[in-house]
Chain A
């Protein structure tokens, strides 16, 4: 949508027209309020109610209900001095409600459910405001915080205590916490405020745990959010939080895995790896992927082939993340599954080892420090060593970074100890191959040299002819053969050198 640029810093601080990250960050933290206030026609004046703890038992529920209704009034927090009295009354009421739900038993009776859910809905459900900074980078920039947090936090706290209360009855709640409610709850995960997302995460987790009828729906809607994120907007602030919930959901999947779950893995989780902002949620994503493998080893092949398909081509940071995930996967891989993917996998690993970016090469070489991976490699040495040998040998001679070179020597040493026969064979054939290549270049070189000799011969002749025509008797040919030799020698030296 409309890309509103963020406001410039004070003109004096700027020398040119380019926004500076450091300056942007130095800006005062801004907070946002949401678009909800204009829908409140007239502000209601709040009057303090008696305290819940002083209420006689008979009137407790009635008072609780009144307080819930009182908390449905919204305040403008961008104007920090507006209606301070009302704000304070609501804050106190919310605090009391939280405390009451958390500590006393028997408060949550059926008639309170619709009132409680209404209060929660009115407060938390709102269209999130446009982002203050359209190029918001969650890793670099300060998030915009929700202005009404002093109230909002208490509402979330109340909701959480409500769900966690021993009196909470899912059968009653499900009438009010329905699909529409959940959908709105999920939309809120896009909030820029990390405090809000943290609450939402815990709350959605409880809802998923307690309201069984909503589970499939929640999973489907999370799918939709992810697919929109991957293929449409590339922007959603709560991906990490949703993945964290999914991690524990996957953990609880029944075996054998349903087709729906496998589809989720292959068509949603794996493509999530293509996101530009992968670094923000990679840890949670890798956890989910590994959870799937631990559930059902047969998905291993889809996962590895998927990762190889989406392997980063230019972004080395992502490549390091992918390698990290591969190691996590290999840590728990079944040997029988390993055999099915070892060939394409080690081709990719070999490509990473020869990356000029030392962090990528280093991350790949660390695999050989992992006991379990080492044992897998050892068992399949016959297949793996030929795949990586040429790369290792070449990179050990060429890499600019000493750490990489010494890591490679260690790896080569490990292989030598693993299977010295194979190692020697490969070394020998590598050398033969090199020799052949060298010879090929030698032939080409010889050809080039002879062409150059011809050319020089002609030049010399023309030169002599010129001198003859000019009547000069000075013979300069003796200097030219030197020139000729020099050219031939230089080429020969550079390429014939080992």
Chain B
């Protein structure tokens, strides 16, 4: 175990100088954990020599979540997303893991880095490209597709052009909508590719049109509210009712995302390594012992946010400061 830890210290030794001070101690603790893990991995190798790729996956999971708490998977993706050219910390951790595994080190390292990059790509896609994928699906399903920007252009066009009474305006809107839709249907059937509105040219034109027409005056807002009230017909079937409820927030969005309200942006090491908050306490004595137990318990708690944990520790600090005179009598 000493030899393995020494070898690990040599590989990130040169790199440790480049790292920030704050990241050093948790990083070294991680590496110690990996050093401890090496014994387990070699035992597994004896049992299952054929499943080398599975070992790598297990090692990756262990590396990224030694305590395997609920908020860790989010932490992983955030870690990876932070460094778009892969995080140097992660690269070094990958090299440490590769050196701890018994197989070909360079191969494992390159494969781990490739996996990390794949994770990055998928998480980036999911975060940014999610809506675009849905549009793809919808455009495949229905030919009559109206993007909201283009719809806004049409409505604003009608506002500026037609200033008749409400009834006449609505009738014209209906007819013009139908005609425009049919025209659009015809155009879409001719066009070969699907408009994704990813590139700036396609998207900036309707935006410019919107900017010139709509300015946030009270009259415009009121008119928008009137239009919404008129066009919001009562739901014709259960699906539309469910859509309405989802928009209002009565119904959850499916597939159910368990972490809707929770946005825990903190890394896992901020949850676990809470010793830096213990600086206000005396270094020896029963209070220190008590606070170390408190910190141990808090680090194992997956339900509190980092803020709440810090608030707990600060409350204890205040409490013990108030009772200082009492403590000094003892």
| A and B found bound together | no
Chain B residues in the interface with A (C-beta under 8 A): none
Chain A residues in the interface with B (C-beta under 8 A): none
